Amino acid sequence: MKHLFAMGAGAVAALALGAGLALAAPEPDPMTALAGRPAGADPLDPMTALMARPDEGTGGEGNAELGGLPEGPGAEDTFYQCVACHSTEIIKQQRVTDHRWDELWTWMVERQGMAEPDEETKKVILTYLKTYFSSER
């Protein structure tokens, strides 16, 4: 029994070694080509276009530090209130009425257990949402 077990372990080790060798084969690694180059330095590098440039915001792109929420009064409050449970993406894709934002707020509190902040903060956040993610303006 002991002997059999040892053989089994040997076979596993051989398999692992085989896999290791396969991984070590000189596959062309795209990261190797990019390694050592300053990110975004090459205008022909497709990654350049994807790089975030928080200091050169064109407006509309939002604040990268706030999950891409547009700058504005209440952006920070909204970020901290809402990302406790989900990303800002779910917010950014909304274009709904003021009434719907009120409903969503209530739904988040009553059904999802969102902790409600003080009245002032609630007002600030709802005003922010209704300003930037509205179907009415």
**Least distance between ligand HEC and beta carbon 52 (Å):** 23
Query: Which one of 7-15, 39-47, 53-61, 90-98 is the stretch in contact with ligand HEC (CB under 6 A)?
Result: 90-98
Burial of 30 by CB count in 10 Å (0-12 exposed, 13-18 middle, 19+ buried)?
exposed
Q: Does 86 bind ligand HEC (CB under 6 A)?
A: yes
Based on CB atoms, which residue is closest to ligand HEC, 40 or 72? 72
Out of 40, 67, 92, 94, the residue judged to bind ligand HEC by CB under 6 A: 94
Measured distance CA(108)–CA(101) in Å, rounded? 10
Per DSSP, the three-state class of 116 is: coil
Q: Does 81 bind ligand HEC (CB under 6 A)?
A: yes
Q: Does 125 bind ligand HEC (CB under 6 A)?
A: yes
Q: DSSP character for 69?
A: B
In the shown chain, the binding pattern of residues 28 to 67 toward ligand HEC, with x for contact by CB under 6 A and - for none, equals ----------------------------------------
Inter-axis angle of helices 75-82 and 119-132, to 10 degrees? 100
* Residues 6 or more apart whose Cβ sits within 8 Å of residue 21: none
Distances (CA, A) of 18 to 9, 83, 93, 108: 14, 44, 47, 52
Q: Does 129 bind ligand HEC (CB under 6 A)?
A: yes
Q: Does 104 bind ligand HEC (CB under 6 A)?
A: yes
Q: Which residues make up the interface to ligand HEC (CB under 6 A)?
A: 81-82, 84-86, 90-91, 94, 104, 108, 112-114, 125, 129
